[in-house]
């Protein structure tokens, strides 16, 4: 059973690892992979119909914990403990939930102190007790009437007229005062771990078409044995078509991974594809996972050749019908989004899902 420290408006973790609000999805997955012998049975939950409109969830079923990530920026937004019987919890080093200590209303009062009067949701039959960055939900289905509290709220949770021994059903950690309106906070310094992250990526264009990318990068000093910077630093880097591998390495550093293409399903749509002589070497990608950018290099010249209903409003309508791209028959047969449409527009290719839109 996991034994975890609760830090309101910040994190849930222990001495070995920590799930911090604002943490990137990839970093959370890395923690789960590293500790797979302890944290088992993890589910990935998302909406197949509208994946960018609903939170992406990592469900730790063995431990009763859900990690809710913003679907667009993939940063940790809410930490939910939905089964407190599967995990030990403590606050400021003192346990308030173990097999021997039940998380009753009295125990929460003792551990966390006074707060504002709670809110009763009759439809859910749940009583929500809110601290800043932390909420507890108490199950009230066995009660005969809704809880009441005295007008003069001066004695902590004891002034709430709710049955003694009521226990917590769920706990939430989030940023701010309101769980319903919370958003993923800025990534904390502890999550940088020597990496760089892209705050924004802009397409550089002229009157003819795209020239390259301008990346606004965020970095912080967190190396071992070195005092971490107190602030996040922002720098700008430009990458252009025709840049060499050395140019890219100098601007962005080493990629997280290099991927060599085994096939090119779009090759037939290029000018005179029958005249192209098969290359003995494969084109390759530099994958920068923390930047959300992949750069494709020509295998012969080693130069950059490709990066990747509101798009039409900004750039106009495509002149030709889209090309249907089926990825399921390639080596990547686990793509959950199915076939996509590829539109050519102003020397750029936009890959569009049949349900919803994304751009590469």
For residues 336 and 48, the answer to whether their CB atoms sit within 8 Å is yes
For residues 212 and 243, the answer to whether their CB atoms sit within 8 Å is yes
Could you list the pLDDT tens digit for every one of the 360 residues in the chain?
Answer: 999 999 999 999 999 999 999 999 989 999 999 999 999 999 999 888 888 889 999 999 999 999 999 998 899 999 999 999 999 999 999 999 999 999 988 899 899 987 777 777 777 778 888 899 999 998 765 555 555 544 444 444 434 455 667 889 999 999 999 898 999 999 988 888 878 888 888 888 888 878 888 999 988 864 454 454 467 888 999 999 889 999 999 999 899 899 887 765 555 555 555 545 555 678 888 998 888 888 888 888 888 776 674 455 555 566 666 666 666 544 545 555 566 767 666 666 666 665 443 333
Tell me the C-alpha distance between 326 and 317, whole Å: 23
For residues 106 and 113, the answer to whether their CB atoms sit within 8 Å is no
Task: Return the pLDDT at 150.
Answer: 46
| Domains observed in the chain | 3-146+155-174 (2.60.460), 192-268+279-316 (no CATH), 317-359 (no CATH)
Tell me the C-alpha distance between 265 and 287, whole Å: 20
Task: Return the pLDDT at 355.
Answer: 44
pTM (two decimals): 0.75
In this structure, the strands spanning 119-121 and 126-131 are antiparallel
Tell me the C-alpha distance between 342 and 320, whole Å: 10
Widest CA span of the chain, in angstroms?
85
Task: Return the pLDDT at 18.
Answer: 95
Task: Return the pLDDT at 206.
Answer: 86
């Amino acid at each position: 059973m996991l034994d975890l420290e609760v830090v309101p408006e910040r994190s849930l973790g222990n001495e070995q690892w920590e799930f911090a609000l604002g943490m990137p999805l990839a970093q959370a997955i890395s923690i789960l992979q590293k500790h797979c012998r302890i944290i088992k049975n993890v589910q990935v939950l998302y909406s197949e119909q509208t994946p960018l409109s609903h939170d992406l969830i990592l469900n730790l079923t063995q431990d009763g914990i859900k990690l809710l990530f913003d679907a667009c920026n993939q940063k940790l937004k809410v930490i939910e403990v939905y089964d407190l019987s599967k995990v030990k919890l403590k606050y400021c080093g003192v346990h308030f939930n173990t097999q021997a200590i039940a998380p009753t209303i009295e125990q929460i009062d003792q551990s966390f102190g006074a707060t504002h009067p709670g809110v009763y949701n009759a439809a859910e039959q749940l009583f929500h007790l809110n601290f800043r960055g932390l909420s507890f939900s108490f199950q009230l289905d066995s009660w005969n009437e809704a809880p009441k509290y005295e007008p003069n709220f001066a004695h902590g949770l004891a002034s709430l007229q709710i049955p003694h021994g009521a226990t917590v059903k769920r706990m939430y950690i989030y940023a701010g005062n309101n769980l319903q309106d919370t958003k993923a906070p800025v990534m904390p310094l502890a999550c940088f771990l020597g990496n760089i992250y892209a705050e924004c990526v802009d397409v550089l264009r002229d009157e003819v078409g795209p020239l390259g990318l301008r990346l606004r990068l965020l970095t912080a000093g967190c190396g071992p044995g070195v005092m971490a910077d107190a602030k996040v630093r922002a720098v700008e880097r430009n990458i252009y078509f025709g840049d060499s591998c050395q140019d890219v390495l100098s601007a962005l550093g080493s990629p997280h991974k290099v991927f060599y293409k085994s096939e090119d399903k779009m090759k037939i749509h290029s000018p005179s594809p029958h005249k192209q002589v098969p290359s003995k070497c494969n084109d390759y990608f530099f994958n920068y996972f923390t930047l959300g950018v992949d750069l494709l290099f020509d295998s012969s010249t080693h130069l950059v050749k490709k990066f990747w209903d509101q798009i039409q409003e900004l750039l106009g309508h495509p002149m030709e019908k889209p090309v249907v791209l089926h990825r399921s028959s390639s080596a990547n047969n686990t793509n959950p989004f199915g076939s996509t449409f590829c539109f050519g527009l102003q020397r750029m290719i936009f890959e569009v899902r049949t349900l919803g839109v994304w751009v590469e």
